[in-house]
Amino acid sequence: MSILHRSQSSHTPAAPASRQVDLFVCGDTHCNSKVGLLAPDLLDDEGAPISQSRSQAWLWARWLDYVALAKAAKTAGRRVFALALGDLVDCNIHDSFQLHEPFNQAVMLRIAEASMRPLFSLADRVFILRGTPAHTGGAGYLEELLAQACGPQVVHDSEHGTASWWLLEAEIGGVRLVAQHHPGTNSMRPWTQGGAANRLAAMLTHAYYGAAWTPELALFGHIHHSEDSYDNHPVRAVTNRAWKLADVYEQRSGRGYLAREVGGMIVHFDGDGGYNLEKVVYTLPRPQPWHEEATHGQ
């Protein structure tokens, strides 16, 4: 069982079909973490299976549900782009206790490439951003290696000569957007939700003020929950959910009771400067509470 919620917000009416693009925005998959995204039927270097937990099997099934939306878009004749917002690989230098492979980076990359392949392999264009060095190696080099391994559809950062990006500034379907992993701000408590997105939108409006090129839409990862500034500022800032469940850090931070929402976004570009941003959300079903009667006699 899974709970799916799809919300949409329109920006301007749709127009021609020839330039229509669906941008599938994902990130924070933390492949190689025992609570991150993991493809099935993988082996380590000794041929031993790298097995999914029950929650990882659920997560993988939801990932394939998300990929199915990309397949449907292609069937409908739309171009499909993928934007990966970083932290795709996890070599967690702070705590390797919850990693499938703590040392062998070849195995880490094999896990990440296999796990991201369902989406990346069907996309016409793929943009891979670098995430947090504590998870993806110094200067995010594991994501650079992943980007180099993911095929000709990966769009390179020609200015820096790399296959991955720290900061992406792009125009898709007539819409100017900026994306990076770290938002630089966060809102952790229920009564502050939305504050980070509004701060981000204001920061971006200020940073690009008077520039020849200014973004309309800004997309971020890292904080593992969704916030949206909508039309409160000239730039719309949105943070994305993760494809990772609760780890030890969240447990010791006192957030173990929170609902586990994962998912991504789809930005539907109409090809004439308008877009519709859809948020695809899956909620991990809560386990049944313990009851004394259920264990009577054990």
By mean pLDDT, which of 84-93, 142-151, 221-230, 256-265 is the weakest?
Answer: 256-265
Q: Given a cut of 70, is residue 186 above it in pLDDT?
A: yes
The pair of structure tokens assigned to 113 is: 């490439």
- Residues 44-81 have pLDDT tens digits of 999 999 999 999 999 999 999 999 999 999 999 999 99
Where in the chain are the domains? 3-286
Mean of pLDDT values over 188-209: 93
Confidence of residue 294 (pLDDT cuts 50, 70, 90): low
Banded model confidence at residue 3, pLDDT cuts 50, 70, 90: very low
Residue 154's alpha-carbon distances to 32, 146, 163, 258, in angstroms, are 22, 10, 7, 35
Give every CB contact of residue 31 below 8 A, 6+ residues apart in sequence: 37, 38, 88, 89, 90, 108, 111, 112, 115, 116
Give the Cα-Cα-Cα angle 146, 165, 113 (nearest 5 degrees). Answer: 15
Q: Name the pLDDT band for 9 (thresholds 50, 70, 90).
A: low
Range 145-162 average pLDDT: 97
pLDDT grade for 8, boundaries at 50, 70 and 90:
low
Specify the pTM. Answer: 0.91
* Percent of the chain residues topping a pLDDT of 70: 91
Architecture of domain 3-286: 4-Layer Sandwich (3.60)
Q: Distance between CA 199 and CA 220 in Å, rounded?
A: 13
CA–CA separation, 272 and 14 (whole Å) = 7
